[in-house]
Amino acid sequence: MGFLLLFGGYQQIISGILLATQYTSDINHSYYSVQYLGREVYYGWCLHYLHSSGVSFIFGLILHHIGRGLYVSSYQFRTSLWLSGIALFLLHMMTAFLGYILS
């Protein structure tokens, strides 16, 4: 499961960087730059949907990982590890929320 999370994280970073190369954040041109990405950039629509659906994949894996930890009661043995995992989960949620709001 760790490999899938690592792969999903790398996929998000790489697709985000590639999307950022074509995006313009000017208030008058931001909508049109997203439309340009989907229509004119070679496989830009695929990159856009890969990036947007990758978030759901990562959060599904994280929630499955947390649920498995709750099922086996691993939080009782290593409390600091459990709390750091919850902190990372909250950090991922904040990052995803800001990315959703800014786009």
Query: Which range, of 3-7, 15-19, 72-76, 83-87, averages the lowest pLDDT?
Result: 72-76
Report pLDDT digits (tens) over 29-43. Answer: 888 888 888 888 888
Average pLDDT over residues 14-24: 86
Q: Which positions ≥6 away from 27 have C-beta within 8 Å?
A: none
Task: Report the C-alpha gap between 101 and 103 in whole angstroms.
Answer: 6
The residue segments making up the domain with residue 62 are: 2-102
Task: Report the C-alpha gap between 98 and 100 in whole angstroms.
Answer: 5
Return the amino acid letter for 10: Y
Q: Which positions ≥6 away from 51 have C-beta within 8 Å?
A: 12, 15, 16, 19
Q: What pTM was estimated for this model as a whole?
A: 0.74
| Cα distances (angstroms) measured from residue 84 to each of 49, 78, 81, 88, 94 | 30, 10, 5, 6, 15
Report pLDDT digits (tens) over 42-59. Answer: 888 898 889 888 888 988
Return the amino acid letter for 19: L
CATH number at residue 62: 1.20.810.10
Count of structural domains, the chain: 1
In this prediction, residue 14 has a pLDDT band, given cuts at 50, 70 and 90, of: very high
